[in-house]
Structure 1
Amino acid sequence: MVHDLLQEMGWEIVRQESTRDPGKRNRLWYHEDIYRVLEENELHKLKHIDLSFSKYLRIQDLSLAPNLENLILESCTSLCEITSSVDGLNYKLLILNLRHCKSLDSLPTDIRLESVEKVIFSGCSNLKKFPQISWNMKELYLDETAIEKLPSSIENLSRLVILNLKDCSMLERVPSNICKLRSLEHLNLSGCSKLGGLLDNLRNLTASRVLKAVRVAATREAPISIPYLRRLEKLDLTNCFIKELPDNLGQLSSLQSLLLGRNFFESIPSIAALYKLSYLDLSYCERLQVLPELPRNLRNIDAYNCTALGVSSSFSIFFENLNFFYHGARINLSNCLNLDQDAISEFFNGILQLEKRTLKMYGIMRNNNTGCVCFPGSEIPELFVFQRKESFITLEKQEILGDNSLSSLLVCVVVEFRNYHNEGQGLVVVFECLLTREDGTIDMFRGTLRGWNYGNGPDNVDSEHVFLGYDSYSNFSDLYNINHHKYRKMTIRFYVENLTKRLGCCNVKKCGVLCRNDLF
């Protein structure tokens, strides 16, 4: 209601610019005004044109709108050319957007757009050639076009910050002089399946912050120049058939996300010096045998379906440095079927003993972190003193009361997956705690263990897996005081769901609970 009133007030303010001649206004929205202005070629004050989804649009003489700043023509599916009259917008046009104009098959070669900052041809699937240009834009989107090569004049785009070539499946090469783009921060080559690999002289892209090259199949070896991109924050080389990584990968000192999934290397050089790294994806690296020494600030690891991966000393050192139960982390080792279940269970018993020493040194940490580790297995680690072969467990007051109040629970479950197929909706183990007072009143709170997030995780799972972790948002001390309310028992029930529904193909077979107080 308020929004509508404000919009109408805005329309009236613009209408008052010229009540009799809409061609003198800087914006038009009423269809009769637009028709009149276009018919009489009165476009002098117009700054913004948006004719998106106009199926039968044929572009007019835009030189009649010399003050135009934004030209938006998304999904004008009959538009097959841009006339040279766009050249008349040389010094004012800032944004040119022709996204999904699927009939557009060529661009004029004589257009000069000195002022333009963003040019979007995304999804122009019949656009095969990009001309020699003198448009010094900041952002250029050519993703999902049919271009076969970029012009050599691209080196003149000294202001270019973003170059998106994603899913240009006909692109056969990128000119080597692209490395002269010293302002380029985002380069996306993902899905350019005909490329003969990445360029070797990437070290000159000194401003680079994001480099994506998913499914650039001919890469084989990651360019040795990549580690020289010291400002790089995200590197995505997923599914590039890489067999060997550069030894100096650990020099990417600004890196926050490293995605190397679905490749063929057997080992990874040390990345322990990547102190800013928070996410590492090694999923479906089926030849990877051992994890490298890992940085202590790493918070998310996806290493599912690494079927040759074994438990290593570096993994133990990582957990000790991480202080898992204080900082929190999500580690997905699902379908890593080569992991020795006895060894990994013993390993986590050791981690829990480490938590015991940490609590004795620092006391109960009241943070808002969550932690979850998922790995193949059918047994609850023995240090979980309360266990049951069901999807729920009940503890009496004397079993759960340690100090004056409870702190965060550590929980562990064994989940049986039966024909689980990942629909991209994530997966969490939910635990619901029901606290029964002496008078029979029940208080409840809910926590979760995040197995995998929206859009990732293993494609299929058909075996039993262990989920171990905690959710500090379910901290007893912040919600309930055991002595004050005189609870007589606590029941915790577990089940598995994605982001939309409970999953019937995932059954909790065993569960275990450990109150942190019990570690003393």
Structure 2
Amino acid sequence: MQDNKVKHWNGVQNLVNLNYVDLSFSKHMTEIPNLSRASNLQYLILNGCSSLLEITPSSIQNLNKLVELDLRNCIRLISLPDGIQSKSINLYRCYTLEIAPKISCKVENLYLSGTAIKESLFVEHPSRLVQLDLSHCSSLESLSSSICKLKYLEVLKLFRRSKLKRLPHDFGDLEASEFLDSKATIIEEVPSSILHLPKLCKLELCRVDDEPTPLNWVLNSSSGSNSIEWIDFSNFQMTKLPDNLGQLSFLEDLYLSGNNFKSMPENIKGLSKLKFLDISNSRRLQLLPELPMGVGVMANDSSSLQSISDPLFLLLPHWRRRKTSFIHCFKLDLSKILHEESCREFCANICFPGDEIPKWFTFQNTGSYITLDQSLDWHNKNFLGFLASIVVSPGFYCGIHFYVVTCYCSVKSEDGEEQIYITEHEL
């Protein structure tokens, strides 16, 4: 019955065998039919019912087998009854909904993205809530400490546009939490207990890039998760990184762009699983410490960066590919990094500022191609491959610098057979 002209449904119908109702895009429907006798109903889909104002308690009472209540894009919806017995409730883009209903302990997934709620919801305990989406809630000002009692909560999304400035102090009590996403917010205070979460894998706390207030967060010496793989602390305005950063032994991706620290803890070299480090726009950082072998580094616009303690991290096993970029790092002393011996085992895309190809490259040419007219012993174990250096002018698109290099390698055998290899590199 999608995109229909249903306005209302009079009376109470005996619909005991009904298990699926889809009235999506019923643009003239201001209230839903009385479904109180549809006791076996599992799915109630009301997506895009733009005239729907409220759902009365009597219309959905006795729906104890409800699996999904979909109210996405009900842009005029102002109220919901408390204690809805559904495993999933989706209120995405219900722009006029200001007060979240009391949630029954049966609800496992609750999506409030784009609503007008100002404070977090009340949840019946013991709660089974696994996923809570509060993203794009532009009026959200606070989170109740009761949210920390959600023992089964795995995913919490707070990103974009909220007025939320702090997280509850008991955040470390969310023992099942695996993913916290609060990127592009104005959060000023984060409890140190957040890194005690035993199952936390991904922590995104990056703030909007024009937020001037430094983050109020002091990590104690015992902070550290045995499971966290991804951390984003971008735009925190941090002047000092936690000394125990190297204790996060499972960390693979670390985003620290837009901060004000002058140095990085030396124990970062102990992060053996680290694959990517973003320190872009770290304008006060002067020295890049010793890093794990093979980590990819994005250091664009780190204008004070002068040296790299040990360039060996640029080398890596041949089975892992990654990119490293030092765009606009004009103070960096390249002569100590790019030399013939250090580059013999490169297996990476690396971008440095400069306007010439190092002289130790054997074959050089002006233009977009070069020809090597000689035989190569492909079976010689000392032959590792080709290392190419090119000078390109920067691209610019929608305010963002970007570099895309496409390489074509044509190999011809003595009998005239040709094989072409193509690779594209975005830096």
The amino acid of 1:121's aligned partner reads L
Asked whether the equivalents of residues 288 and 308 of structure 2 are also in contact (C-alpha less than 8 Å), the reply is yes
Q: Which residue of 2 is the match for residue 85 of structure 1? A: 58
Q: Does the aligned pair in 1 maintain the 2:105–2:127 contact within 8 Å?
A: no
CA distance in 2, matches of 1:156, 1:41: 33
* C-alpha contact (below 8 Å) 2:36/2:63 kept by paired residues: no
Write out aligned runs for 1:136-285 (5 A).
136-151=106-121, 153-154=122-123, 156=125, 158-219=127-188, 223-239=191-207, 240-243=235-238, 244-269=240-265, 270-285=267-282
What's the CA shift for 1:427? 5.2
- The answer as to whether partners of 1:229 and 1:252 remain within 8 angstroms in 2 is no
Shift of 1:416: 0.9
Distance change in 2, residues 1:130/1:371 (3 Å)? same
In structure 2, the CA distance between the partners of 1:72 and 1:29, relative to structure 1 (3 Å rule), is: closer
* Structure 2 SS opposite 1:318: helix
Aligned in 2, Cα 1:31/1:166: closer, same or farther, shift over 3 Å? closer
C-alpha separation between the residues in 1 aligned to 2:355 and 2:126? 58
What is the match of residue 387 of structure 1?
Answer: 364
Conserved? CA contact 1:137–1:159, under 8 Å: yes
Specify the SS of the correspondent of 2:132.
strand
Q: Which residue number in structure 2 is paired with residue 44 of structure 1? A: 16
SS state at 1:133 partner:
coil
TM-score calculated relative to the size of structure 2: 0.80
**Aligned residue for 2:422?**
446
Mapped partners of 1:306, 1:149: distance in 2: 39
Aligned twin of 1:457: none
Aligned mates of 2:292, 2:127 — CA distance in 1: 36
Q: Secondary structure at the match of 1:396?
A: coil
The alpha carbon displacement at 1:130 in A equals 0.8
Paired residue secondary structure (2:307): coil
Q: 1 or 2, which has the higher helix percentage?
A: 1
Cα distance change, pair 247–200 in 1 and its aligned pair in 2 (3 A):
farther
- Residue 310 of structure 2 is aligned to residue 340 of structure 1: no
- Counterparts in 2 of 1:494-513, with a 5 A limit? none
**CA-CA distance at 1:450 after TM superposition:** 3.6
Cα distance, 1:287 vs. partner? 3.7
The 1:53/1:292 distance shift into structure 2, 3 A limit, reads farther
Structure having the higher strand fraction is 1
2:77 matched to 1:108?
no
What CA deviation, in whole Å up to 9, does each residue of 1:165-191 have, x standing for no partner?
112121111112322222222122212
Asked if residue 413 in structure 1 is aligned to residue 390 in structure 2, the reply is: yes
Distance 2:204 2:256 in 1: 6
Q: TM-score, normalised by structure 1?
A: 0.67
Give a deviation string over 1:168-222, Cα, whole Å, max 9, x none.
Answer: 1211111123222222221222125411233343222222221222123242x65
Task: Give the CA deviation at 1:60.
Answer: 1.2
Q: The residue matched to 2:425 in structure 1 has which SS?
A: strand
Listed one character per residue, the Cα deviations across residues 431-454 of structure 1 (whole Å, up to 9, x for unaligned) are 112234557664423122342xxx
The residue type equivalent to 1:203 in the other structure is G
Partner AA of 2:425 in structure 1: L
Residues 108 and 131, structure 2, Cα contact 8 Å, conserved in 1:
yes
Q: Aligned AA for 1:351?
A: S
How many Å separate the matches in 1 of 2:59 and 2:305? 58
CA distance in 2 between counterparts of 1:208 and 1:381 reads 50
Structure 2: distance between partners of 1:324 and 1:307: 30
State the alpha-carbon separation in 2 of the partners of residues 184 and 127 from structure 1. Answer: 23
Contact 2:259–2:282 under 8 Å retained in 1:
yes
- Would you say how many aligned residue pairs link Structure 1 and Structure 2? 396
- The code of the aligned residue for 2:314 comes to F
Which of 9, 22, 27 is the aligned partner of 1:55? Answer: 27
**Contact 1:81/1:107 (<8 A) preserved:** yes
CA contact (8 A) 1:47 1:67 kept: yes
Cα 1:201–1:267 shift into 2, 3 Å: farther
- Pairing 1:121–2:116 present: no
CA distance in 2, matches of 1:128, 1:65: 29
- Per-residue deviation, 1:61: 0.9
State whether residues 222 and 246 of structure 1, in contact with CA within 8 Å, keep that contact through their aligned partners in structure 2.
no
Q: Aligned partners of 2:272, 2:420: CA distance in 1, in Å?
A: 39
- Given that residues 114 and 138 in structure 2 are in contact (C-alpha distance below 8 angstroms), is that contact kept between their aligned partners in structure 1? yes
- Cα deviation for residue 235 of structure 1 reads 1.8
What is the match of residue 352 of structure 1?
343
Q: Any idea what the Cα deviations from partners look like across 1:461-487, whole Å, max 9, x if unmatched?
A: xxxxxxxxxxxxxxxxxxxxxxxxxxx
- Aligned-partner Cα distance in 2 for 1:120–1:144: 11
Q: Which amino acid aligns with 1:391?
A: S
Larger RCO (alpha carbons 8 Å, 6+ apart) = 1
SS of alignment partner, residue 271 of structure 1: helix
Q: Provide the C-alpha distance between the structure 2 equivalents of 1:47 and 1:379, rounded to a whole number of angstroms.
A: 70
Distance in 2 of aligned mates of 1:237 and 1:216: 8
- The residue aligned with 1:514 is none
Separation (CA, whole Å) in 2 of partners of 1:293 and 1:204:
35
Spell out, residue by residue over 1:386-430, the C-alpha distance to the aligned partner (whole angstroms, 9 max, x if none): 2222211001024x4464697643322211125x12588975311
Q: 2: CA distance between counterparts of 1:276 and 1:129?
A: 44
SS at match of 1:249: helix
Across the aligned residues of Structure 1 and Structure 2, the Cα RMSD in angstroms comes to 3.5
What is aligned with 1:6?
none
Match of 1:431 in 2: 407
Amino acid at match of 1:318: F
Amino acid at match of 2:89: V
Alignment check: 8 A CA contact 1:232 1:254 kept: no
Query: In structure 2, how many angstroms separate the alpha carbons of the residues matched to 1:262 and 1:392?
Result: 38
Change (3 A) 1:350 1:166: farther
Q: Rg bigger for which structure?
A: 1
Identity across aligned pairs (percent)? 37
